[in-house]
Amino acid sequence: MTSRAQALLAGFGEQGAIDTTCHLGQWPYRLTAAATADDLRAYAARHGLRALWVSHLATLTGFDTRTGNEALRRACDADPLFRLFAVVDPGAPTWRRELAWAADAGFAGVRLAPGDHGTPPAALGPVLAEAAEHDLPVQILFRLDDPRVRHPRSSARDLEIHELADVVRGAPVNPLVLSGLNRLERVELGRHLGDAVPAHVLLDLWHVNGPAFVGDTWGEEPGRWVFGSGFPVQTPEATMLQLATAALDDATRARIAWGNAAAIVP
Amino acid sequence: MTVIDAHTHLDAGRFDPRVFELGDRLGVELFLCTDIGAFVAHPAIDEVREMNRTLARELRRYPDRLRGYCYVNPRYGAATMDDLRRSVEDDGMIGIKLWIATLADDPLCDPILEYAAENRLLVLAHAWRKTVARFPYESTADHIARAAARHPDVRFLMAHLGGQPESAVDTVQPHPNVAVDTSGTIIGAGEVALAVDRLGAERVAFGSDLHHVDLTETVGKVLGARLDPEAERLVFGGNAERWLGEVAR
C-alpha cells in the first residue's frame, strides 16, 4: 500500500541529515506539540539525523530569553547530537549581555524570532553585526507556523518580505539562515535583492511545500538550502519525504540534507 | 487496495502526467480531481461549464488514473443543475466540488446536495477557519456541519482538515456523513493523528491539493501521523474506495 512511500522515507534516514530547525519545550498552542531532550534524541534516531540545531520554545513567550536558554543548556549541552542556539530578543535592554553570555557559554549560534518578539526590522541589524563579531551564525525564525492557522490569541506577526530584504541587505558577511519562508516569499525576497541573494544567506525547507515538484528546483541553488523541519511544531516527515523524492543528484541532496548546515556549524 | 488521493485539481487545464510517475514511486494510484481554473472564486456559468468540459477531457485521457468532481457555482440555479447532470450522467463524474462561490450551507446549494444524495456523489467541500486572509464566502466547519445536518444522506468530504483541525473536527464530529481530507500545505504536528483519533479512521481520507501543493509533502504528513496499519489503510484509500463504490452508476 504505502510501502513504497515508507521505503523512500526510510531512505531519507540513510542521508544522515542535520535538522536545522528543532525546538525543545512546549509549543503553547497545541499540547501535543512538545519535545523533551529525550524526545529529540528519539526523533533523531528514528530518522538517522546526525545533528539537531535546537533552541527552547520558552524563549519566544517568556518574560526573558535567559530562562529558556539556560534550560536548553541544562537539557542538551552534554549531548553531541545537539547544536545549541541561544535566542536573543533585540527588544530586551539586556540583549548584548545575552549574546555575549551565549558566546562565552559555547552556544553554536543565535536565533532571532522577530515575529514572536515583535522586533522592528531595524533592530535586527545590530544583533547580526554583533553576532558576526562573536563568529556566531544567525538563524532568523521568520515564522514557526502558517499564519492562516495561527492561534487567534498569538501575538506573533510575520515581517513583510521587503522588511526582511532590508535586513539581509544590511547584514554582515556571516552565515544567516532564514526559517519558514515559502516558495513565493523566497522569490519575492530575491526580487527585492535584485535576484542576488548573498551566498551567506540560506533558507530552510519546512514551509517550501508547494507547488508540485518544488523540490526539483532546489538543485538550481544547491548551496542555498538546508533541511529544517520545525519539529515538534511541524510534521517533519512531510519535508523529509519531499527531500527524499526530489529530482536532485546525490551530491546536491547531501548538501541540502546536511552538507550546507555542517559548513555553518560543524 | 488502491491508494487514492481524494483532493486534486487540474493545473492550467491539464493533469501533469509527471504526477502519475511520482504517484507510482509513492504508491498513489488514483487521483480524484476537479478543475477550478486559475482559482476562479466566483466564476460565470460559461466558465464553469468550460472547466468541467476541460476536466472531462482529462478524465477520458487518463481513465485509469483520474476521477472527477464537477465544479459548481450554486448561484446559477437551473443552469448549474444542467451542467452538473451532464457532468455526472454523461461524463461519469463521481462527485461535486464546492469551493467559495457560496457558503456550503447556503440554500442555493440545496438542489445540488439533493442531487448528490440521490446519486451518492462525494461532495468535496472547501472549509477553512482562517486567522488571516479569509476569502469572502469561505466556509468553515460550522457551515459544513449545518449543510450536513440538513442533508444527512450526502457524503461530505471537508477539505484541509477544516483548516484548523481541533475546532473543525470537533464541529463536524456529530455528523457521521462528514469525513475530512488531509490536503494542503499546512503540516502542523499531530493534526492528522488528531482527526483520526476524534473522528475514527473511517472518516479521514488522504488528499494532496495538487498541483499547488507537493504530493510528497502531503504523503509524508500522513506517514508522520504514525497511524496503525488498519487506520493507514483506510486513510490512504480504503475509505475513498468504499465511497466510490457507492456512487450510483
Q: Which of A5, A150, A207 sits opposite B223 (nearest CB)?
A: A5
Identify the pLDDT of residue B236.
Answer: 97
Identify the pLDDT of residue B40.
Answer: 82
| Of the candidates B1, B68, B3, B5, the residue with the CA atom closest to the CA atom of residue B217 | B5
- On whether any CB of chain A is under 8 Å from the CB of B223, the answer is yes
Distance from CA of A209 to the nearest CA of B (A): 6
The pLDDT tens digits along chain B (249 residues) read 789 999 999 999 999 999 999 999 999 999 999 999 888 889 999 999 999 999 999 999 999 999 999 999 999 999 999 999 999 999 999 999 999 999 999 999 999 999 999 999 999 999 999 999 899 999 999 999 999 999 999 999 999 999 999 999 999 999 999 999 999 989 999 999 999 999 999 999 999 999 999 999 999 999 999 999 999 999 999 999 999 999 987
Q: What average pLDDT does chain A have? A: 97
Nearest residue in A to B161, CA atom: A149
Cβ separation of A239 and B213 shorter than 8 Å? Answer: no
**Best residue of B132, B210, B216, B223 to probe chain A, by most A CBs closer than 10 Å:** B216
Nearest residue in A to B215, CA atom: A212
Concatenated DSSP letters of A197-262: --TTEEEESTT---STTGGGGGGGSTTTEE----TTTB-HHHHHHHHHHSS--HHHHHIIIIIHHH
**Best residue of A2, A8, A12 to probe chain B, by most B CBs closer than 10 Å:** A2
Rounded to an integer, what distance in angstroms lies between the CA atom of residue B222 and that of residue B187?
Answer: 9
Distance from CA of B110 to the nearest CA of A (A): 29
Residues of A within 8 A of B185 (CB-CB) are: 146, 182, 207, 209-210
- On whether any CB of chain A is under 8 Å from the CB of B17, the answer is no
pLDDT, average across residues A100-105: 97
Rounded to an integer, what distance in angstroms lies between the CA atom of residue B173 and that of residue B178?
Answer: 8
Q: How many CB atoms lie within 10 A of CB A6?
A: 16
**Best residue of B135, B187, B234 to probe chain A, by most A CBs closer than 10 Å:** B187
Taking only the tens place, the pLDDT of each residue in A5-47 is: 999 999 999 999 999 999 999 999 999 999 999 999 999 999 9
Rounded to an integer, what distance in angstroms lies between the CA atom of residue B149 and that of residue B177?
Answer: 9
Cβ separation of A1 and B3 shorter than 8 Å? Answer: yes
Q: Which of A32, A209, A245 sits opposite B185 (nearest CB)?
A: A209
| Number of domains chain B contains | 1
Identify the pLDDT of residue B98.
Answer: 97
- On whether any CB of chain A is under 8 Å from the CB of B217, the answer is yes
Q: Which of A206, A235, A245 sits opposite B216 (nearest CB)?
A: A245
Cβ separation of B214 and A151 shorter than 8 Å? Answer: no
Identify the pLDDT of residue B126.
Answer: 97
Q: Give the CA angle between residues B160, A245, B187 to the nearest 5°.
A: 25
Identify the pLDDT of residue A2.
Answer: 82
Amino acid at A161: I
What does residue B103 show for φ and ψ, rounded to 5 degrees? Answer: -70, 155
Instruction: Classify domain A3-264 by CATH architecture.
Output: Alpha-Beta Barrel (3.20)
Amino acid at B107: P
Identify the pLDDT of residue B39.
Answer: 84
Distance from CA of A188 to the nearest CA of B (A): 17
Domain range for B156: 4-246
Would you mind telling me the total number of residues written for chain A in this entry? 266
Q: Which of A147, A211, A240 sits opposite B220 (nearest CB)?
A: A240
Rounded to an integer, what distance in angstroms lies between the CA atom of residue A264 and that of residue A137?
Answer: 7
- On whether any CB of chain A is under 8 Å from the CB of B192, the answer is yes
Identify the pLDDT of residue B195.
Answer: 98
Identify the pLDDT of residue A1.
Answer: 62
Rounded to an integer, what distance in angstroms lies between the CA atom of residue B10 and that of residue B212?
Answer: 10
Distance from CA of B107 to the nearest CA of A (A): 28
Query: A230: Cβ–Cβ under 8 A, 6 or more apart, which residues?
Result: A21, A22, A23, A144, A179, A180, A206, A207, A236, A239, B187
Cβ separation of A149 and B131 shorter than 8 Å? Answer: yes
Cβ separation of B212 and A210 shorter than 8 Å? Answer: yes
Q: Give the CA angle between residues A132, A99, A202 to the nearest 5°.
A: 45
Is the distance from CB of B141 to CB of B168 less than 8 angstroms? yes
Domain definitions of chain A by residue range: 3-264
Residues of B within 8 A of A4 (CB-CB) are: 25-27
Where residue B122 sits, what CATH number does that domain have? 3.20.20.140
Is the distance from CB of A226 to CB of A202 less than 8 angstroms? yes
- On whether any CB of chain A is under 8 Å from the CB of B130, the answer is yes
